[in-house]
Amino acid sequence: MNAAEMKKNYHYNNPIIQTNYTADPAPMVYNDRVYLYTSHDEDGSTWFTMNDWKCYSSSDMVNWTDHGSVLHFNEFRWARGDAWAGQCVERNGKFYFYVPINKKNGGMAVGVAVSDSPLGPFKDPLGHPLVETGTGDIDPTVFIDDDGQAYLYWGNPYLWYVKLNEDMISYDQEVGIVQVELTPEGFGKREGDDPKRPTLYEEAPWFYKRNGLYYMVYAASGIPENIAYSTSTSPTGPWTFRGIIMPTQGTSFTNHPGVCDFKGRSYFFYHNGALPGGGGFTRSVCVEEFEYNPDGTFPTLNMTTEGVSPVANLNPYIRNEAETIAWSYGVRTEPCSKGGMNVCNIDDEDYIKVRSVDFGSVGAESFTACVSSVKNGGMIELRLGSPDGKLIGVLNVPNTGGYDNWKLCSTSIENTQGVHDLFFVFKGEAKNDLFKFDFWQFEEAQSRNGE
Ligand code: FUB
């Protein structure tokens, strides 16, 4: 997709993040929200130039709130870079983020960082790697079984696991690091005679249990990768190869699965190179909904631009973050001077789509946004259905006297009822960097006839 297609394709929903390149999706369901942890390809990367991990969250699977960077490789004083694929899990109200990083003295290892909040800050409690074998220690995945035993799997081209102790930051030394036997029965037979890669297993394992069956979903078949899976009735195998879930598609030579159930539906996250400037080192996270077959096997899944349907409507009568986005064109996000994040890089004709906004039967009568600007500001057009859909109101954004000078600005709007996709379309004579946008809220009309 080039920039013009990006602008035109307002009906697209994949990739789900348009404001950054994101890869290696790791969803975590917690308290009625999906927290999506991603790695982060720096703009213009021509190698895996990756320094931090980002977090996005959603209560409806279509509008994703950007929480910014929640962990940087610098947090690990023993690391020098390569913030690759990680996974965060919750245990007893604490959040454990397992990540692979390049050590200062060379070679990848898996570290862990801990936080009291899913949004960080995450801190390295160890000051050294959690596990390392010296060979391809990347792509950790963690699952806590019903009996409380947690397992950490990882590796490329080998697949390793440890049994984590209850503290989640150490592992059972008696069992030690176990190398999984990669057999054709367990992981599919690979053509060729690479002794290190006798099976389809490549990297990016995603380990979980559903209805008593353990799943290992992973990037497979070499470069370019597809996504395959194996199952077992035990958390440590033996594994049975079950086939390819997602064929090689998209313009990224890697792929990386993340699977979760949320509000009664099943979701499959992956990445491709679909954004403008995208490719193997500038990737983007996408999601598809699917149903398991009655026997627990996966259907074949293809990459789509439609993505998924909302599982809930968005309430416009509470504070909503401007960086809660279903699809956007042109804008970026940044840490806000007041804390949290805000939308920036707002140019003339850029837009944000927020899906499935429920204005209710009484309807909205006014709109308020928190904005800041140094130039003459501009306008936020409020439109329904598309960037040139029905105009229900226009908010004038004045010069607020500085980007740190946040002001609440309001406008009355045409009474709007029902559920709509809402578009904020930005306009301004200055053309570039019109203003910044922190949050917004509609006010409900006074109910008529005492309704
Ligand atoms: O994102 C860097 C590496 O590329 C990951 O660790 C692999 O899974 C592949 O996606």
Give the three-class secondary structure for 448: helix
Dihedral, CA of residue 73, residue 75, residue 79 and residue 84, to nearest 10:
-30
Inside any domain, residue 315:
no
Same domain (yes/no): 187, 331: no
Same domain (yes/no): 263, 408: no
Low-confidence ranges of the chain (pLDDT < 70): 447-451
Domain boundary among 247, 271, 290: 290
Mutate to test the pocket of ligand 1, among 218, 256, 272, 285 (most ligand atoms within 8 A of CB): 256
Inside any domain, residue 304:
no
Same domain (yes/no): 210, 330: no
Same domain (yes/no): 146, 216: yes
Pocket lining: 227 vs ligand 1, CB cutoff 6 Å: no
Pocket lining: 139 vs ligand 1, CB cutoff 6 Å: yes
Same domain (yes/no): 355, 229: no
Using CB atoms within 10 Å of the CB of residue 418, give its burial: 0 to 12 exposed, 13 to 18 middle, 19+ buried.
Answer: exposed
Q: Which of 361, 357, 371, 385 is nearest to 442 (CA)?
A: 357
Active-site residue list: 24, 202
Same domain (yes/no): 364, 225: no
Pocket lining: 137 vs ligand 1, CB cutoff 6 Å: no
Distance CA 256, CA 272 (A): 9
Same domain (yes/no): 284, 331: no
Inside any domain, residue 305:
no
Mutate to test the pocket of ligand 1, among 102, 138, 223, 255 (most ligand atoms within 8 A of CB): 138
| Domain extent at residue 206 | 3-290
Cis peptide before 238 (omega within 30 of 0): yes
Using CB atoms within 10 Å of the CB of residue 127, give its burial: 0 to 12 exposed, 13 to 18 middle, 19+ buried.
Answer: exposed
- Give the pLDDT score at 152: 98
Pocket lining: 282 vs ligand 1, CB cutoff 6 Å: no
Could you tell me how far CA 186 lies from the centroid of its own chain?
29
Same domain (yes/no): 225, 354: no
Identify any residues that bridge with 329 across adjacent strands, giving them in sequence order.
351
Same domain (yes/no): 91, 218: yes
Cis peptide before 100 (omega within 30 of 0): no
- Give the pLDDT score at 446: 84
Pocket lining: 203 vs ligand 1, CB cutoff 6 Å: yes
**What φ, ψ does residue 184 adopt, rounded to 5°?**
-60, -35
CB 41 within 8 A of CB 251: no
CB 75 within 8 A of CB 123: yes
- What would the two tokens of residue 204 be? 């990016």
Nearest atom within ligand 1 for CA of residue 283: 1
- Give the pLDDT score at 88: 98
Inside any domain, residue 87:
yes
For 291-330, b where at least 16 C-beta lie within 10 A, e where not — what string? Answer: eeeeeeebeebebeeebbebbebbebeeebbbbbbbbbbb
Task: Return the CATH number at 355.
Answer: 2.60.120.260
Task: Return the CATH number at 60.
Answer: 2.115.10.20
Taking residue 72's Cβ as centre, other Cβ atoms within 10 Å add up to: 17
Taking residue 189's Cβ as centre, other Cβ atoms within 10 Å add up to: 12
Inside any domain, residue 245:
yes
Same domain (yes/no): 48, 146: yes
State how many domains the chain has: 2
Domain boundary among 290, 312, 331: 290
If phi over 0 gives left and psi between -120 and 50 gives alpha, with beta otherwise, what is residue 146? alpha
Distance CA 117, CA 106 (A): 31
Q: In sequence order, which residues have a C-beta less than 8 Å from that of residue 289 and are 6 or more positions away?
A: 61, 265, 266, 267, 268, 308, 309
Same domain (yes/no): 49, 118: yes
CB 143 within 8 A of CB 151: yes
Inside any domain, residue 443:
yes
Inside any domain, residue 349:
yes
- Give the pLDDT score at 275: 98
Mutate to test the pocket of ligand 1, among 39, 137, 272 (most ligand atoms within 8 A of CB): 39
What spacing in Å lies between the alpha carbon of 24 and ligand 1's midpoint? 6
Same domain (yes/no): 67, 177: yes
Inside any domain, residue 301:
no
Pocket lining: 85 vs ligand 1, CB cutoff 6 Å: yes
Domain boundary among 290, 309, 336: 290
